[in-house]
Amino acid sequence: MITLLLLPPLAWALLLALYAKRFIALWHEPVWCCPVLVIESDDWGAGMLSQAAALDDLRQLLNCHCDHTRRHPVMTLGIVLAIADTEAIRAATDRKYLSIVLDDARLAPVLTALRTGIVEGVFAPQLHGMEHYWPAAVLVAAQTDKRVEAWLTGDTLPRTEDLPSPLQSRWTAATVLPSLPLSISEINEAVATEARTFQRIFGMTAQVAVPTTFVWNDEVERAWSAHGVRCIVTPGMRLEYRDAQGRPAGDGRKILNGECGQNDVLYVVRDQYFEPALGHCAEQGLAALARQTACARPTLLETHRFNFLGESASVAMQELNNLLDKARANYRTLRFLSTQEIAEAMAHKDTELIETSLRPRLRAWLVRIHILPRFTKLARFTGLVWPLRLLGKWAA
Ligand SMILES: [Zn+2]
């Protein structure tokens, strides 16, 4: 009889021990006081001139919406600072990499559109990379891959989206698979150049970096941090290379909001998606906002420029407009912030945005632990669900 009575507490202790590390990490993850929404859009910058009209349309759309503090929604733009100068590469007597940088006169319409949105406060530039690839790796790949050769020597401004996927990772040499790491000196030199270029073009230090294809490593973090980057956007993990099949791969360790990497660079998690060209409607964005808000987390919606260019553009604009309309209607206290502001609020524990009192933190923690893989099932099976419900009642 006594053994039977002891069984549930023993099972609970076992379950708690099994999840202890993740429970503690979730307890330390900042708890947001209000729903937060930011549209994170990558791949803008050096490239096709058609971006200028798309950016103007986006800027006007964002200007039509406000949160309850009268703040417009912010679209953070992952900026690519340079692109292959295909004309110059073709004309050169020997094959070498030459590029057009975003402040080249030929790209003036794009830079003007970007700057206008930044001044209006609806765009926030973030560092995506000098290029969306490692130029030396693309040059080597072009020797044996006709598609890459054609990409590098075509007669228009190339689209980085058209490169073979492994080559779109900047911080690994994907000329062979699995890809090879870059040397520390190569990384340091490349980061110094991109940080300097970002500063020159936008008149500000790049404080938020979004690694291309989310492949980066400690050396990149250290170099970025040395040049002023304070925050790295992650999908909740770090990928470090391309595996034998060309897929991004890493150690699989989970990353939560507010955790720190090398030199205290702060991670912000972006793991929700809004890609209308792939069939996502406003509803998917709203569902993501609901999920994140239930967990007292900010909603960073990932979207790419390809949605807003070409055939999908009008549908994408309409869905974005619907999303912003409904988000505001569904959440009276919704805040539109930039990713840099989100990072700063977490770093400084800004009490206007971040909860410090016990009960709201406990409520968020209870929601978060229940979405851990298999935990809810095991909590029900062992009966741990009952003391957790009591805890939830107390925190309500
Ligand atoms: Zn990208």
What is the residue extent of each domain of the chain? Answer: 30-354, 357-396
Whether 301 shows a pLDDT value over 70: the answer reads yes
CB atoms within 10 A of CB 39: 23
pLDDT in tens, 130-175: 999 999 999 999 999 999 999 999 988 999 999 999 999 999 999 9
CA of 201 to the centre of ligand 1 (A): 19
Confidence (pLDDT) at 2: 63
Segment (H or E) for 19:
helix 2-28
- Compute the distance between CA of residue 280 and CA of residue 106 in angstroms, rounded to an integer: 34
Confidence (pLDDT) at 155: 85
CB atoms within 10 A of CB 229: 24
Mean model confidence pLDDT for the chain: 96
Whether 291 shows a pLDDT value over 90: the answer reads yes
CA of 212 to the centre of ligand 1 (A): 5
CA of 383 to the centre of ligand 1 (A): 45
CA of 370 to the centre of ligand 1 (A): 32
- Buried/exposed code over 230-244 (b: 16+ C-beta within 10 A; e: otherwise): bbbbbbebbbbbbee
CA of 35 to the centre of ligand 1 (A): 26
Prior bond of 73 cis (ω within 30°) = no
Distances (CA, A) of 159 to 127, 145, 196, 312: 18, 17, 24, 16
Residue 237: which region, alpha, beta or left (left: phi > 0; alpha: psi -120 to 50)? beta
> 69 by DSSP, 3-state: which?
coil
> 259 by DSSP, 3-state: which?
coil
Q: What is the CATH number of domain 30-354?
A: 3.20.20.370
> Strand 237-242 and strand 248-254: pairing?
antiparallel
CA of 297 to the centre of ligand 1 (A): 24
CA of 113 to the centre of ligand 1 (A): 19
Nearest to 44 by CA among 36, 53, 35: 53
Whether 395 shows a pLDDT value over 90: the answer reads no
Provide mean pLDDT across the span 203-230. 98
CA of 5 to the centre of ligand 1 (A): 56
CA of 301 to the centre of ligand 1 (A): 14
CA of 3 to the centre of ligand 1 (A): 58
Nearest to 196 by CA among 231, 157, 158, 229: 229
Residue type, 200: R
Segment (H or E) for 72:
none
pLDDT-based confidence at residue 279 (cuts at 50, 70, 90): very high
Confidence (pLDDT) at 153: 94
Provide mean pLDDT across the span 120-138. 98
Segment (H or E) for 111:
helix 108-120
DSSP string of 234-258, one letter each residue: ESSEEEEEE-TTS-EEEEEEE--TT
- Cβ atoms of 81 and 194 within 8 Å: the answer is yes
Nearest to 81 by CA among 232, 199, 208: 199
CA of 111 to the centre of ligand 1 (A): 18
CA of 57 to the centre of ligand 1 (A): 21
Whether 224 shows a pLDDT value over 90: the answer reads yes
Whether 3 shows a pLDDT value over 90: the answer reads no
Confidence (pLDDT) at 313: 96
CA of 304 to the centre of ligand 1 (A): 7
pLDDT-based confidence at residue 7 (cuts at 50, 70, 90): confident
- Compute the distance between CA of residue 82 and CA of residue 130 in angstroms, rounded to an integer: 6
Q: Count how many residues are written for the chain.
A: 396
CA of 169 to the centre of ligand 1 (A): 9
More confident residue, 3 or 212: 212
CA of 132 to the centre of ligand 1 (A): 7
CA of 48 to the centre of ligand 1 (A): 15
- Compute the distance between CA of residue 155 and CA of residue 166 in angstroms, rounded to an integer: 23
CA of 235 to the centre of ligand 1 (A): 13
